């Protein structure tokens, strides 16, 4: 019988990513991050709205200022970096209804600038009081009131920049997002959405890193298949050291939902020819290296199998052969927060 010791080394890596839907965005970031993140808040759209008066403004706004595109709370800042906005007008000219697109230099068949024939020369402040096309606020302010127009519009935030200080202590910050309209002489109407920034404040580790695992492979050739439990205990705790909690799939505060991936680290391997190490998920289905799996809690219940190389691959009379003695296998575990 040959008794060998296998050292399985796991190195932890963190990657943050995000998923989005609906009227609330949940974005996960690390302390010390300054990142641009795509968002998918539901656009605000209206068509065929009656309009008369001097004002026509539509905007996606972050923060409590009237038309602001940024906000800051608890030292964490957020800024709109990209948005998609469209505005069209339908009026009565020569008894026909015409529509203009959101373009400063031309309309559909008119050569005048936005917002088109009949309005272009009425823009307040010598044409400065107008905004259009992919800004977070679109519309214009006229020098005199008009009537009998219909309008259509769409606006949505598509990307924000978030900055989180290295020394932040908070775990969640909620930033209100308002879809605002100001039509004619009516007050501003706003509809609220939200972007919630979750700060990953966990410090994580394996409690059994670099543990020696005795592997008795029998009389050189592998015997009956036996799955062994992989002794990984993966824990995360907040940076302040209080309320340590095991990482599971959960929506609770300070406990991140994550995918995991196991990647072989060839530079940490020794005696490569000696054996082949295979991993299995809790249901004993094969775990494929470099593939992402959805439930981080599986890390506490993984299994492994060590398969010796065929005897023809080495000289059993050579005590320096790969299958005699000590060998390492090294792996990285990549956690992908979402």
- CA distances 260 to 52, 212, 281, 297, Å, are 57, 23, 12, 9
How far apart are the C-alpha atoms of 93 and 101, rounded to whole Å?
A: 16
| The CATH number of the domain covering residues in 3-15+202-337 | 2.60.40
Taking residues 126-154, report their average pLDDT.
Answer: 76
How far apart are the C-alpha atoms of 171 and 168, rounded to whole Å?
A: 8
Local confidence band at 115 (pLDDT 50, 70, 90 cut-offs) = low
Q: Give helix then strand counts, H and E, for the chain.
A: 1, 21
How far apart are the C-alpha atoms of 307 and 211, rounded to whole Å?
A: 19
The model's pTM is 0.56
pLDDT at 205 over 70: no
Taking residues 304-320, report their average pLDDT.
Answer: 63
Local confidence band at 173 (pLDDT 50, 70, 90 cut-offs) = very high
| Domain layout of the chain by residue ranges | 3-15+202-337, 31-199
Name the DSSP class of 293: B
């Amino acid at each position: 019988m040959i008794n060998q010791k296998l050292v399985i080394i796991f190195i932890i890596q963190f990657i943050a990513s995000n998923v989005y839907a609906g009227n609330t965005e949940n974005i996960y970031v690390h302390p010390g991050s300054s990142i641009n993140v795509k968002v998918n808040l539901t656009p605000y759209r209206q068509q065929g709205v009656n309009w008369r008066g001097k004002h026509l403004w539509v905007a996606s706004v972050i923060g409590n200022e009237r038309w602001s595109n940024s906000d800051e709370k608890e030292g964490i800042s957020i800024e709109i970096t990209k948005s998609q906005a469209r505005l069209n007008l339908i009026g009565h000219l020569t008894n026909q209804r015409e529509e203009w697109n959101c373009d400063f230099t031309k309309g559909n068949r008119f050569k005048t600038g936005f917002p088109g024939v009949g309005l272009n020369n009425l823009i307040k402040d010598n044409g400065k009081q107008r905004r259009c096309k992919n800004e977070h606020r679109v519309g214009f302010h006229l020098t005199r009131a008009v009537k009998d127009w219909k309008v259509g519009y769409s606006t949505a935030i598509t990307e924000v920049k978030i900055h989180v200080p290295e020394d932040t202590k908070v775990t969640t910050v909620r930033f209100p997002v308002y879809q605002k309209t100001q039509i004619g002489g009516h007050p501003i109407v706003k509809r609220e959405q939200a972007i919630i920034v979750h700060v990953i404040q966990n410090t994580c580790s394996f409690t059994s890193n670099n543990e020696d695992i005795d592997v008795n492979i029998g009389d050189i050739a592998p015997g009956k298949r036996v799955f062994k439990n992989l002794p990984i205990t993966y824990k995360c705790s907040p940076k302040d050291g209080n309320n340590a909690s095991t990482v599971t799939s959960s929506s609770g505060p300070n406990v991140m939902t994550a995918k995991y991936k196991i990647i072989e680290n060839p530079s940490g391997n020794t005696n490569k020819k000696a054996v082949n190490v295979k991993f299995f998920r809790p249901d004993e289905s094969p775990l494929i290296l470099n593939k992402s799996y959805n439930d981080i809690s599986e890390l506490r219940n993984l299994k492994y199998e060590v398969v010796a190389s065929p005897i023809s691959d080495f000289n059993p009379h050579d005590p320096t052969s790969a299958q005699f003695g000590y060998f390492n296998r090294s792996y990285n575990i990549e956690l992908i927060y979402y």
